[in-house]
Amino acid sequence: MLRAVKKEYGQHFLADENILGVIGRLAELAPEDVVLEIGPGQGVLTRYLGARVQHVHAIEIDRDLEPLLADAGDNVDVVFGDALRMELPQDATKLVSNLPYNVATPIVVESLDGLPNVQLWCVMVQREVADRFFARPGTKDYGAVSVLVQLAAERTGFHPVSRHVFRPPPNVDSALVAFRRTAMPDGFTRIKAVVAAAFAHRRKTLPNSLELAGLAPRAAGAAALAAIGRGESTRAEALAPVEFVSLVEALR
């Protein structure tokens, strides 16, 4: 049963069940897993997960989808609300979702430190978003989300997804990307703030960006860069993820 989508929620419902096997493989699903799914939509992935793991927490913003999710399974809890504004289940060990395009990046970024028990992510996102997660320094795709994801995780899988597996088909292609948690650096909250400030003004040098964000006077930013072997004209996209950790330490 297909239902009209709501554009404000960025809805593109998964309609081709052939992709489910790929999701299951990349997510390395196991019977003991507790999975968080953001945006279950009409429940195609939800029911697949429920048949294979211990428990599924599904969070859906669109209350009109309740009838379609009522039979998701005895081990599936469906909660209606905005995942960006609510307390997420802390017992989740994996995040497996066809993420709504308009919240994909903030959901992933906030889950890195907000859901410390999540050890593996397998998310379907817009292709350009997937490319950003593990983009290299100096490339056009490299940005704040690249730094933060790479400081917390390593990529374990990638699978391009045609727009035709969705109803309605989006105007862009998608990709499945899987990544596993690694050792997260101490002070991640502070690192997030510095990284966000650094990329907020990509055309400006790092000392200027940090000063504009109120995080450090320009002279202090320049001194911190010098301490890690970088010149004061350095821009955010030039620094590797680990250099941002050093930069934050030098700013202290």
For 40, which DSSP code?
A: -
Distance CA 226, CA 243 (A): 12
Most distant CA atoms of the chain, gap in Å: 61
Q: What is the pLDDT of residue 11?
A: 58
pLDDT digits (tens, 9 = 90+) for 95-111: 999 998 889 999 999 99
Q: What is the pLDDT of residue 4?
A: 47
pLDDT digits (tens, 9 = 90+) for 204-243: 999 999 999 999 999 999 999 999 999 999 999 999 999 9
pLDDT digits (tens, 9 = 90+) for 82-139: 999 999 999 999 999 999 888 999 999 999 999 999 999 999 999 999 999 999 999 9
249 pLDDT more than 70: yes
Residue 170's pLDDT band (cuts 50, 70, 90): confident
10 pLDDT more than 80: no
165 pLDDT more than 90: no
Distance CA 137, CA 241 (A): 8
Distance CA 127, CA 165 (A): 14
CA angle 116, 251, 181 (to 5 degrees): 20
Q: Which of 4-13, 37-46, 138-147, 158-167 has the lowest mean pLDDT?
A: 4-13
Q: What is the pLDDT of residue 13?
A: 82
Fold equal for 7-181 and 188-251: no
Considering the domain 7-181, what is its CATH architecture?
3-Layer(aba) Sandwich (3.40)
Q: Which of 39-53, 136-150, 166-180, 206-220 has the lowest mean pLDDT?
A: 166-180
Cβ atoms within 10 Å, residue 252:
7
Q: Is the pTM of this model over 0.85?
A: yes
Helix/strand/coil (H, E, C) string of 117-129? CCCEEEEEEEHHH
Q: What is the pLDDT of residue 2?
A: 43
5 pLDDT more than 50: no
Distance CA 65, CA 67 (A): 6
Distance CA 215, CA 230 (A): 18
Phi, psi of 121 (to 5 degrees): -115, 140
Tell me the helix, strand and coil percentages in the chain, rounded to 5. 40, 20, 40
Averaged confidence pLDDT in the chain? 94
Q: Which of 6-10, 62-66, 102-106 has the lowest mean pLDDT?
A: 6-10
Residue spans of the domains in the chain: they are 7-181, 188-251
Which residues, in sequence order, are CB contacts of 80 under 8 Å at separation 6+?
Answer: 59, 60, 61, 62, 63, 66
> What's the fold here for domain 188-251?
Helicase, Ruva Protein; domain 3 (1.10.8)
